[in-house]
Amino acid sequence: MSKKLLNLLYQATSREVAPKVPMVKAHLFANDEAQLPTKSALDDLMENQWNQKPALEALEHPWVRKNKPSNILHIPCPSSCLTEEDFVDIFPINRERQYRVPHNTKKGLDVKMIKSRHPLTLNFENSYYLVFKNAIEASLYALETHNKALNGFRLKPSFVEPSIHAAKYWVSPWFLEKSPSPLKIKNDIFQLPTPKVPISVITRKDDHYRNLLNQLETTTQKVDSDQIHPNFDIINTLTHTDRRSRSVIVRNWPFGILPSTTNRLLWDYDVESMSPILSDITKNLSVHLITFTNPTMAKRFVRNYHGKKWDPIQWGHKEKPLHEPIQAEIAN
């Protein structure tokens, strides 16, 4: 009896359901590929996202609150060989982070590195400045990398408020649109420590750069804002990142090299300009700044000439090479 009832029920319902089956199939399977998950819940566990704190909580960390956060970090380090890539790579991968970085920076934070230099001699001043888009990202970087080591030196970052004093280590008259002649900078000013170098010499009394420095001190942003800080573009303008990336500081360049010899020597390089920074034969000081048309040429020059012992190439008017080999570095 029960089997007959089931058969009657099936016959009655199948006639009603049959026309609707194609519509149901289309709804369930038409976009099947698009609905496949890109990753499983296990992937999230492996990435440690479940255990990470929100980025804003970095501002509540006792060390951050104590040190008045900004979007600029100062890192003392006696090694001048570090690059921007080194500071980017030391930031931990996602599954090793304590804090959840913003979604658009999953691969890491955007870091702009500035080597601390004397504004006139361009000598390295044993520290680095890292500029971030906002104070949140700077705080994240400081907490995630604190006490990590680069080239054997522990990172001990500290926050820095943007100021004219700090900018003296970033800005140099050699990278302005019109490089100053050495004759316009008195020799005794070269001997001054960076904090005592007049800002008028660094900016070459250019009102545009002076105004930018004033804006640097007056431009502010809320600490918990995730927007790009207004001083980020100002610092980019002041530091002339593009020109620095294609400029090379050359130390121990021989004395008495004629311009025609330089042109012949660098015939296969696209040289934009070559400026003597320091040239004192009595003190064996010879520093030049060579600017190329692109960063590739600058890196190629460093690769070919850094550490090279000078071989005499002039006849009749012999050059006077220094005992030490040529030292060449990108002027970042």
Mark whether 273 and 230 lie in a shared domain.
no
Let me know if residue 49 belongs to a domain.
no
Enumerate the β-bridge partners of residue 251: 287, 327
Mark whether 277 and 141 lie in a shared domain.
no
- Coil vs helix vs strand at 159: strand
Higher pLDDT, 309 or 36: 309
Let me know if residue 11 belongs to a domain.
no
Mark whether 305 and 292 lie in a shared domain.
yes
Res. 85: pLDDT tops 70: yes
Mark whether 215 and 233 lie in a shared domain.
yes
Higher pLDDT, 267 or 43: 267
Backbone angles phi, psi at 54, to 5 degrees: -60, 150
Tell me the residue length of the chain.
Answer: 332
Cα 329 from chain centroid?
16
- What pLDDT does 98 receive? 84
User: Domain boundary residue among 239, 255, 276?
Assistant: 239
Mark whether 215 and 318 lie in a shared domain.
no
Whose structure tokens read 């900016």? 203
User: Domain boundary residue among 181, 207, 239?
Assistant: 239
Residue (of 240, 219, 119, 115) closest to 168 by Cα position = 119
Are the beta carbons of 72 and 130 closer than 8 angstroms? yes
Res. 42: pLDDT tops 60: no
- Coil vs helix vs strand at 137: helix
- What pLDDT does 182 receive? 46
Let me know if residue 31 belongs to a domain.
no
Cα(106)–Cα(114) distance, rounded to whole angstroms?
A: 23
Mark whether 230 and 266 lie in a shared domain.
no
Mark whether 269 and 223 lie in a shared domain.
no
Mark whether 195 and 256 lie in a shared domain.
no
Q: DSSP labels for 269-327?
A: S-EEEEEEEEEETTTTEEEEEEEESSHHHHHHHHHHHTTPPPPP--SSS--B--SSPPE
Q: In what helix (H) or strand (E) does residue 167 lie, and over which residues does it extend?
A: helix 164-167
pLDDT, the chain, mean? 82
Are the beta carbons of 117 and 125 closer than 8 angstroms? yes
Let me know if residue 19 belongs to a domain.
no
**Given pLDDT bands bounded at 50, 70 and 90, which one contains residue 255?**
confident
Mark whether 234 and 261 lie in a shared domain.
no
- The string over 293-305, giving b where at least 16 C-beta atoms fall within 10 Å of a residue's C-beta and e elsewhere, is eeeebbeebbeeb
Domain count of the fold of the chain: 2
Are the beta carbons of 285 and 294 closer than 8 angstroms? no
Let me know if residue 116 belongs to a domain.
yes
Are the beta carbons of 76 and 127 closer than 8 angstroms? yes
Higher pLDDT, 54 or 303: 303
User: Domain boundary residue among 239, 256, 287?
Assistant: 239
Res. 180: pLDDT tops 90: no
Query: For residue 266, what are the domain limits?
Result: 244-330
Res. 94: pLDDT tops 90: no
- What pLDDT does 116 receive? 93
CB atoms within 10 A of CB 148: 12
Mark whether 110 and 198 lie in a shared domain.
yes
Mark whether 216 and 259 lie in a shared domain.
no
Cα distances from 268 to residues 263, 288, 296, 312, 319, in angstroms, run: 9, 19, 13, 19, 22
Mark whether 78 and 142 lie in a shared domain.
yes
Res. 15: pLDDT tops 90: no
Beta strands in the chain (DSSP E): 53-54, 72-76, 99-100, 112-117, 124-131, 149-150, 153-154, 158-159, 247-251, 271-280, 285-292, 327-330
